[in-house]
Structure 1
Amino acid sequence: MATRFVNIDRETPMLLPPDMKDWVAKDDLVRFIVDAVETCDVRLARVNARGSGDRQYPPSMMLSLLIYCYGQGLFSSRAIERATYSHVSVRYLCANEHPDHDTIATFRRENASLLESCFVAVLQLARELKAFHRLGTVSVDGTKLGARASRRSNRRRNELEQELAELQTQIQELLQQAEAADREETRAPGEALAKELQDKEQRQALLREAKAQLQARQEACRRQRQEQARGEDPEDPSAPSCRVRGATSAEKTAQTMEEPPAKKDAQRCINLVEPESRLMRDAHGVYLQGYNAQLVVEAGAESRSQLIVGVHLSQDGNDRRALGETLAKVPEALRAEITHVVADTGYDNTDLIYAVEKKWAVTVLCPPQSATAPEPPTTYRLKKVQQRRRQSAQEMRERLEQPENQRLYARRAAASEPVFGVLKNVLGFRRFRLFGLAKAKIELLLLATAYNLRRLAQQAALAPS
């Protein structure tokens, strides 16, 4: 019998138009996302209501395009544009249209309100799909994500002053050259000098603004250290109460251990390209230029949906002040259902935990930084705020010893850590593509929405029909 092959004919045109639904499988993620976005209210999208200019792409299509591509690990607007030509599922989503990268980037940058609304709509859809009934227990955790700017753009105060002095000298020389060119009436060199002088002056203004911001930041750090020394800083929940006055010189040396150089740089430098970003250390001890991304993840023992129900982006290098701000990002209707909040030791802040429990009537489970209660001092008497913090830390230890709370806290790592694993290792999102804190928040919200829809699609595929 002769060998037979399938006939591959790329020359004969199709006699009938193809049905685009045949391009993708029935269980493809793109179908689920298109249907889910249809439930979102896109009236918040920024569009050209006058109708002038070229025809606009529908907001629902642009929103679906961004969510699907983020769910597939495509974050660059140029990569998304290429996918509209090369990716079959994206071509189906766009109905064979091809928005350019500038249109994609502009839509992403200008529609923060639409993305917030869509994030809430996806959580409502999750409830309708019975991904969870009531939130109950949530896990709060954070991770460091790189900013768009590089560490090489950081400058210390002395470096800023040195560069400003050099620029001032260069500007004076250019002004002298410009005066000489005016006297000689040489038009072309004069125009070149004017352009160079303008660039130098713009750079000078940028450095002066950066220096002012750095001085303000250092002054805030100085006041914070003074408050810590007096025991008045809520970010430092146990520092004064755990330090021992009257200790030996060796103990004092250990208590005031020199900070690592990179940590000093984080407090003493500013990034010229993205001043809102910070130099901070990740979980592996590596310093990066970025932000502290906080997530609230559903951690119920029954549903185990692992959906992200709240996102917050912080500039702090640690999590001590992030608990209240992060929980505030959970939609109000869902926040009222929270009964327990589990967090790791990095959130240990007795004053803030007390305020959160009082404000939202929740129970926070967060191990104190000190596993055992410190010995009471014998050479001095603690202040009232120190006594209260020690008492609160001891109450937290006793709370975590209860079997029911131990069972709830055991869900913390299993709920939040896999989410970060998917975002950073599966999707490959380790740094933001947009400049500035406000725009980075938009991108984090978009990433969380894409993750939730991926998760819902997986659960829908595994659910018995």
Structure 2
Amino acid sequence: MSHHIKGQSRTQTTLFPEALDDFVTEDNAVRVIDAFVDSLDLESLGFEKVKTKATGRPCYHPATMLKLYIYGYLNRIQSSRRLEKESHRNVELMWLLERLQPDFKTIADFRKNNSKGIKSTCRTFVELCREMNMFNDVMIAIDGSKFKAVNSKPNNYTPQKAKDHIARIEKSITHYLSLLAEKDDSESADDDVILMNEKLAWMKKRLTELEEIQVAVNNHPDKQVSLTDPDSRLMKTSNMTRQVCYNVQSAVDTKHHLIVSHEVTQTTDMGKLHLVASQVQEVLKTKDITFIADKGYYSREDIKAVIDTGSDVLVPKGDTSGATKAGIFNKAKFEYDKERDEYTCPAGNILPYQRDSVEKGMHLKIYVNHIACRDCHIRSQCTRSKKEPRKMRRWVHENIIDSMHKRLQRAAHVTVTRKQTVEHPFGTIKMWMGATHYLTRRIKNVSTEMSLHVLAYNLKRMMTIKGNHELIASFKQ
């Protein structure tokens, strides 16, 4: 006789508790969601249909739908069809929605039509965290990560890809025409001729489509076109492969790993430092912040713009110069004397300041020594030009960047801190998303999706840090 734990008979009558509330424990996460949404002024946040007319068919209250979505994203259920199923069988959702069961189209439309409200809710939660003193003496790590869009690589075209596809189709058309020409002597329309004519007709139609795509690609500002999600872009990912995706900017505090600000973008990290920093300053209501980022954000104008606001910035500089690869001295080999305002080259010669120049909108100072460079015995290691001397270009505000580099050298832990801080939320959210990442198309809808993921992540972090009871009490204050 087997000795196992035995279940009850499926035909046995069961007496359930009289109240649905008895199924949900006092520390259940759904009570946190319920208390948070009930504390919000949904109309001021931008949600639609908070107030409705007395006539016509009634609709679901935005609070009900928002609770459903927060629960879904908190429990890795992002699909509107899956949320509909869960509302029929999930006891927690029955409690949270008071047994309401919206259909998948209503659920999907709420996310599509309430982009502003959902984004405002995400920001409101960060502001609540600020009021709970979660961001004292804050250091913010900024980074970007690529999230896959609803667009496969075959459905993304660049000028070269469109050209290659057209050349391949034209070659195939020529091949089939030559085969048909060989069969012209035979008047019998055998099966091979019929099949080849069908293939030829398809290829001519495909060639027309590709030519239209080529025109669209060449006319596009970014020189690429995505057919499924037009706003997505082909980008390099961390493992050096290419994916059609969006680049999500994220600002995370180093103490509690809460996402303070995020932004879905279509370009690389370059030029985003000031944008993200200004958003963080606005949310936290302070400029006494230290921002840390990787070399992908290194832009001298951006760094100066953030420092000018009163915040500090620590960004390492990457070597983008092609001097070493070209076999000549890198700029790092030239020593700058701040007091004398001059450079010393590797040969020991002085390069004094000569003139000003404006290049790509930047005001630069030019340092050059024509005579010393002409007579230098290691000139071949310094420049490939036989006529022009080696020039040093220095930004007029370069002293700000030099000071930042000195602070960065004294803070050796910053690189490790940044990685440990900003990679954690990205990894967690991508795990929640699964292999497909986004479910919606166009940057507006994708941004709404990302706001729900960030809100769910921050809510989970605060439940871990503060505990559910304390968090619910803070919402009711």
* TM-score, normalisation: structure 1: 0.70
- Cα shift at 1:275: 2.2
More helix by share: 1
Aligned-pair RMSD on alpha carbons?
3.8
Aligned residues: 372
Alpha-carbon separation, structure 1, partners of 2:131 and 2:69: 24
Aligned twin of 2:282? 332
Do 2:307 and 2:313's aligned partners in 1 also have CA atoms closer than 8 Å?
Answer: yes
Do 1:210 and 1:270's aligned partners in 2 also have CA atoms closer than 8 Å?
Answer: no
Deviations 1:291-324 (A, max 9, x none): 101111112xxxx2211110111111x3111212
Do 2:258 and 2:458's aligned partners in 1 also have CA atoms closer than 8 Å?
Answer: yes
Aligned twin of 2:424? 418
More RCO (CA 8 Å, sep 6+): 1
1:273 matches 2:231:
no
Do 1:120 and 1:331's aligned partners in 2 also have CA atoms closer than 8 Å?
Answer: no
Secondary structure of the residue aligned to 1:134 is coil
- Cα shift at 1:391: 5.4
Aligned twin of 1:178? none
Do 2:147 and 2:248's aligned partners in 1 also have CA atoms closer than 8 Å?
Answer: yes
Do 2:236 and 2:243's aligned partners in 1 also have CA atoms closer than 8 Å?
Answer: yes
Do 1:40 and 1:117's aligned partners in 2 also have CA atoms closer than 8 Å?
Answer: no
Do 2:140 and 2:291's aligned partners in 1 also have CA atoms closer than 8 Å?
Answer: yes
Alpha-carbon separation, structure 1, partners of 2:14 and 2:440: 43
1:215 matches 2:212:
no
- Cα shift at 1:128: 4.3
The 5-angstrom pairing of residues 358-373 of structure 1 reads: 358=308, 360-370=309-319
1:55 matches 2:62:
no
The AA in structure 1 aligned to 2:103 is D
Do 1:291 and 1:314's aligned partners in 2 also have CA atoms closer than 8 Å?
Answer: yes
Deviations 1:227-266 (A, max 9, x none): xxxxxxxxxxxxxxxxxxxxxxxxxxxxxxxxxxxxxxxx
Secondary structure of the residue aligned to 2:124 is helix
Deviations 1:392-412 (A, max 9, x none): 55433212122xx44555532
Alpha-carbon separation, structure 2, partners of 1:289 and 1:51: 47
Secondary structure of the residue aligned to 1:18 is coil
1:350 matches 2:305:
no
- Cα shift at 1:83: 1.5
Alpha-carbon separation, structure 1, partners of 2:435 and 2:257: 18
Deviations 1:315-338 (A, max 9, x none): 11x311121222233372415244
Alpha-carbon separation, structure 1, partners of 2:39 and 2:208: 50
Flag the structure with larger Rg.
2
Alpha-carbon separation, structure 1, partners of 2:405 and 2:281: 30
The 5-angstrom pairing of residues 164-203 of structure 1 reads: none
The AA in structure 1 aligned to 2:310 is A
Aligned twin of 2:403? 395
Aligned twin of 1:449? 455
Alpha-carbon separation, structure 1, partners of 2:5 and 2:315: 67
Aligned twin of 1:95? 98
Alpha-carbon separation, structure 1, partners of 2:217 and 2:97: 44
- Cα shift at 1:289: 0.5
Aligned twin of 1:85? 88
Aligned twin of 2:265? 314
- Cα shift at 1:91: 2.3
Alpha-carbon separation, structure 1, partners of 2:117 and 2:110: 10
Aligned twin of 1:19? 19
Alpha-carbon separation, structure 1, partners of 2:153 and 2:106: 29
Deviations 1:430-452 (A, max 9, x none): 52111111211111111111111
Do 2:257 and 2:425's aligned partners in 1 also have CA atoms closer than 8 Å?
Answer: yes
Alpha-carbon separation, structure 2, partners of 1:460 and 1:393: 39
Deviations 1:377-428 (A, max 9, x none): 65535464x45586555433212122xx445555322221211121112553
Deviations 1:91-118 (A, max 9, x none): 2222222111111111101112211221
Aligned twin of 1:140? 142
Consecutive unaligned residues in structure 2, runs of 5 or more: 170-203, 321-329, 335-344, 346-381, 384-388, 472-477
Do 1:343 and 1:412's aligned partners in 2 also have CA atoms closer than 8 Å?
Answer: yes
Aligned twin of 2:360? none
- The 1:439/1:207 distance shift into structure 2, 3 A limit, reads farther
1:28 matches 2:44:
no
Do 2:162 and 2:210's aligned partners in 1 also have CA atoms closer than 8 Å?
Answer: no
Identity %: 25
Aligned twin of 2:332? 374
Alpha-carbon separation, structure 1, partners of 2:285 and 2:470: 30
- The 1:100/1:204 distance shift into structure 2, 3 A limit, reads farther
Alpha-carbon separation, structure 1, partners of 2:31 and 2:24: 8
More strand by share: 2
Alpha-carbon separation, structure 1, partners of 2:119 and 2:96: 22
Alpha-carbon separation, structure 1, partners of 2:234 and 2:137: 35
The AA in structure 2 aligned to 1:283 is S
- The 1:108/1:387 distance shift into structure 2, 3 A limit, reads same
- The 1:119/1:305 distance shift into structure 2, 3 A limit, reads same
1:438 matches 2:438:
no
Do 1:365 and 1:409's aligned partners in 2 also have CA atoms closer than 8 Å?
Answer: no
- The 1:124/1:455 distance shift into structure 2, 3 A limit, reads same
Alpha-carbon separation, structure 2, partners of 1:20 and 1:447: 28
- The 1:294/1:27 distance shift into structure 2, 3 A limit, reads same
Alpha-carbon separation, structure 2, partners of 1:74 and 1:363: 39
Alpha-carbon separation, structure 1, partners of 2:152 and 2:311: 40
Secondary structure of the residue aligned to 1:374 is helix
- Cα shift at 1:69: 0.8
Alpha-carbon separation, structure 2, partners of 1:206 and 1:19: 63
Consecutive unaligned residues in structure 1, runs of 5 or more: 167-199, 219-267
Alpha-carbon separation, structure 2, partners of 1:210 and 1:74: 39
- Cα shift at 1:340: 0.4
Secondary structure of the residue aligned to 1:328 is helix
Alpha-carbon separation, structure 1, partners of 2:5 and 2:412: 65
Secondary structure of the residue aligned to 2:280 is coil
Secondary structure of the residue aligned to 1:431 is coil
Please say which of residues 82-91 and 63-72 is displaced more in the overlay.
82-91
- Cα shift at 1:350: 1.5
Secondary structure of the residue aligned to 2:453 is helix
